[in-house]
């Protein structure tokens, strides 16, 4: 039989598949493409540097065994990094890293300048009058990786966070920017990374701070004429975690000082971790030079967790609190509270409280009441992603088809319906709807809304679509 890169890799895969979890296989091995085979060297293409680092970190032994089985003792693996969908605006590049070489290289030693132990150093965390030399990390140990449940919605962010925690400053994710909507776990992951680093590297100075507090400290330092001390303090930190950087919007002084601190830390191989409620491209009133730095490392999105993940989050929380609750109730709550983990937890807590105060059993009826309050109080808004999903499912096509540039009539109609419902059910602007549904402009969205209005008054079949979808979306 002809031995090709493909055949060798296929055999490796079937061996690997038998030896790891299906989810891990899917995440880390399915995306790999075998590219070529020369002598005993198999070249495989991986989608990012992160991917390559992850494979080397976790699966190098398995890969080696599989490859030696196929190609004999002097088998070699060559990674080709091909970034197709890059995060940020880095140009795609191809880099070859022979695995054999890399394994000989010890973790890169970074020369860190001797810390300046000047007694004058002002620590903005010091309450005046209290001497405090050690920098307290301000971390919350209750937010750790163990209790941050993994799901498709957070896998990238969680894995990247763990990679950073294993080698702070030593991966290509610097800065690591975690972004996503309210209550999806940004603060939790940010702490978890810090907690893990403190655990692994107790000698490292880790600092967690909200962007808001950072801003206040900065303003204070300007008032007191201690701006240099402020900068100096932050430049001494090994791992700086800043939560909710969107707060820097429009604050040019704070942005400027953060820019200098960031550069210093980055140049010295220190790790910076940021969170934000938006992707860098969508951040408003943040200087370009800062935005471009945010994109240097990795931006990982936290999405809304799927139903299974929501159920596991709830179960885990109940388990930790030592509370038992029937499965159908857990599922009812998880089914109805979708977009925010904090609300999900809130509903469960409220349910427990109600049942214990009133000495009532937790029943489906009680759950319904509680959920109703939560859902009402928070003005549930369907997301544009959700609308696209529902519309594509209804017409039995993929979301990517719905978004594609094609002019096929039924696809165009589906896309117009998605735009129409996005306008109807969300507060998003026409421009924002357009950019989320296949990168169209606001005029296209406006046209879509008009077309749907017209068609539903003239075309019976079309009216049925609108009615069905309205029902599905308002459930």
Contact 230, 221 (CB under 8 A): yes
355 binds Mg ion (CB under 5 A): no
Residue number, nearest CB to ligand ADP: 185
Of 55, 149, 160, 417, the one binding ligand ADP by CB under 6 A: 149
Number of residues that bind Mg ion (CB under 5 A): 2
340 binds Mg ion (CB under 5 A): no
Pairing of strands 94-98, 271-276: unpaired
By CB neighbour count within 10 A (0-12 exposed, 13-18 middle, 19+ buried), where does 447 fall? middle
Where in 418-437 is the site for ligand ADP (CB under 6 A)?
A: none
Q: Which helix (H) or strand (E) holds 243?
A: strand 239-243
256-285 residues in contact with Mg ion (CB under 5 A) are: none
Using CB under 6 A, pick the residue from 184, 237, 265, 469 that binds ligand ADP: 184
Closest separation in Å from C-beta 337 to Mg ion: 18
User: Is residue 267 classed as helix, strand or coil in its secondary structure?
Assistant: helix
**CA distances for 436 relative to 13, 385, 433, angstroms:** 36, 8, 5
Q: Which of 180-188, 191-199, 316-324, 373-381 is the region at the interface with Mg ion (rule: CB under 5 A)?
A: 180-188
- In three state form, how does the secondary structure of 121-188 look? CCCCCCCCCCCCCCCCCCCCCCCCCCCCCCCCCCHHHHHHHHHHHHCCCCCCCCCEEEEECCCCCHHH
- In the bound state with Mg ion, the residue whose beta carbon lies nearer, of 186 and 198, is 186
- For the beta sheet containing 271-276, the strands, ordered from the edge strand earlier in sequence to the opposite edge, are 206-210, 239-243, 271-276, 176-180, 298-302
Q: Is 341 in the site for ligand ADP (CB under 6 A)?
A: yes
CA-to-CA distance for 117 and 431, rounded, in angstroms? 53
DSSP notation for 195-211: HHHHHH-TTS-EEEEEH
Task: Pick one of 48, 144, 154, 174: the residue that binds ligand ADP (CB under 6 A).
Answer: 154
Residue 159: CB minimum distance to ligand ADP, A: 13
Site membership for Mg ion, residue 187 (CB under 5 A): yes
Interface with Mg ion by CB under 5 A: which range of 64-72, 185-193, 212-220, 363-371? 185-193
Residue 466, both tokens: 């609108």
Stretch that binds ligand ADP, among 20-28, 53-61, 185-193, 292-300 (CB under 6 A): 185-193
- Minimum Å distance from CB 223 to Mg ion? 27
CB 68 within 8 A of CB 75: yes
Least gap, CB of 127 to ligand ADP (angstroms): 26
Window 21-60: residues binding ligand ADP (CB under 6 A): none
Name the one range near Mg ion by CB under 5 A: 6-14, 53-61, 164-172, 187-195.
187-195
By CB under 6 A, the residues from 199 to 228 that bind ligand ADP are: none
Distance between CA 104 and CA 60 in Å, rounded? 13
Task: Please list every residue from 344 through 373 that binds ligand ADP, using CB under 6 A.
Answer: 345
What are the helix (H) ranges across 250-363? 252-267, 288-294, 307-321, 327-336, 341-357
Report, in Å, the least distance between residue 340 CB and Mg ion.
11
Identify what 144 binds: ligand ADP, Mg ion, none; CB under 5 to 8 Å per kind: none
**Residue 232 or residue 338: which is nearer to ligand ADP going by CB?**
338
d(CA 461, CA 82): 46
Nearest residue to the partner Mg ion, using Cβ: 187
Centre a 10 Å sphere on the Cβ of residue 419 and count the other Cβ atoms it contains.
29
Give min distance, CB of 424 to ligand ADP, in A: 27
Residue 286 C-beta: closest distance to ligand ADP, Å: 19
> Is residue 188 within the footprint of ligand ADP (CB under 6 A)?
yes
Binder among 102, 342, 368, 380 for ligand ADP (CB under 6 A): 342
Candidate residues 168, 169, 175, 183; the one interacting with ligand ADP per rule CB under 6 A:
183
**CA–CA separation, 194 vs 168, rounded Å?**
10
In terms of DSSP bridges, do strands 206-210 and 176-180 run parallel, antiparallel, or are they unpaired?
unpaired
Binding site for ligand ADP (CB under 6 A): 147-149, 154, 180, 182-188, 313, 341-342, 345
Binding site for Mg ion (CB under 5 A): 186-187
């Amino acid at each position: 039989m002809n031995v090709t890169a493909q055949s060798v890799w296929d055999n490796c895969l079937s061996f690997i598949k038998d030896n790891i979890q299906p989810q891990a296989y899917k995440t880390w091995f399915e995306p790999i493409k075998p590219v070529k085979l020369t002598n005993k060297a198999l070249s495989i293409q991986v989608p990012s540097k992160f991917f390559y680092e992850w494979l080397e970190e976790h699966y190098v032994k398995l890969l080696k065994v599989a490859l030696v089985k196929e190609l004999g003792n002097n088998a070699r693996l060559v990674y080709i990094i091909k970034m197709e969908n890059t995060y940020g605006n880095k140009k795609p590049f191809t880099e070859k890293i022979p695995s054999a070489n890399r394994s000989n290289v010890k973790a890169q030693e970074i020369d860190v300048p001797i810390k300046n132990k000047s007694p004058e150093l002002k620590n903005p965390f010091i309450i005046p009058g209290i001497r405090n030399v050690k920098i307290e990390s301000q971390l919350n140990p209750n937010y750790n990786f163990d209790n941050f449940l993994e799901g498709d919605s957070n896998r990238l962010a969680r894995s990247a966070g763990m990679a950073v925690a294993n080698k702070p400053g030593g991966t290509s994710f610097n800065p690591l920017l975690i972004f996503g909507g309210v209550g999806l776990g940004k603060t939790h992951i940010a702490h978890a990374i810090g907690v893990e680093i403190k655990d692994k590297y107790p000698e490292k100075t880790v600092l967690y701070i909200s962007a808001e507090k950072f801003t206040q400290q900065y303003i204070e330092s300007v008032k007191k004429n201690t701006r240099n001390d402020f900068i100096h303090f932050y430049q001494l930190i090994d791992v700086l975690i800043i939560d909710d950087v969107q707060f820097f919007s429009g604050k040019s002084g704070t942005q400027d000082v953060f820019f200098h601190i960031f550069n210093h830390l980055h140049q010295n191989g220190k790790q910076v971790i940021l969170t934000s409620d938006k992707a860098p491209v969508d951040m408003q009133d943040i200087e370009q030079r800062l935005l471009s730095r945010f994109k240097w490392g990795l931006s990982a999105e936290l999405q809304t967790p799927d139903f299974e993940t929501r159920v596991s989050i709830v179960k885990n929380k109940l388990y930790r609190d030592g509370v038992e609750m029937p499965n159908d109730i857990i599922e009812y709550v998880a089914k109805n509270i979708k977009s925010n983990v904090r609300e999900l937890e809130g509903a469960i807590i409220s349910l427990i409280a109600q049942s214990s105060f009133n000495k009532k059993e937790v029943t489906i009826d009680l759950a319904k009441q509680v959920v109703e309050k939560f859902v009402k109080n928070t003005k549930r808004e369907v997301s544009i992603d959700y609308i696209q999903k529902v519309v594509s499912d209804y017409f039995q096509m993929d979301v990517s088809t719905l978004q594609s540039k094609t002019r096929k009539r039924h696809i165009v109609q589906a896309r117009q319906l998605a735009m129409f419902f996005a306008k109807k059910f969300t507060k998003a602007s026409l421009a924002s709807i357009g950019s989320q549904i296949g990168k169209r402009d606001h005029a296209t969205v406006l046209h879509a809304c008009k077309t749907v209005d017209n068609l539903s008054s003239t075309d019976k079949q079309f009216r049925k679509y609108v009615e069905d979808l309205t029902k599905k979306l308002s459930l």
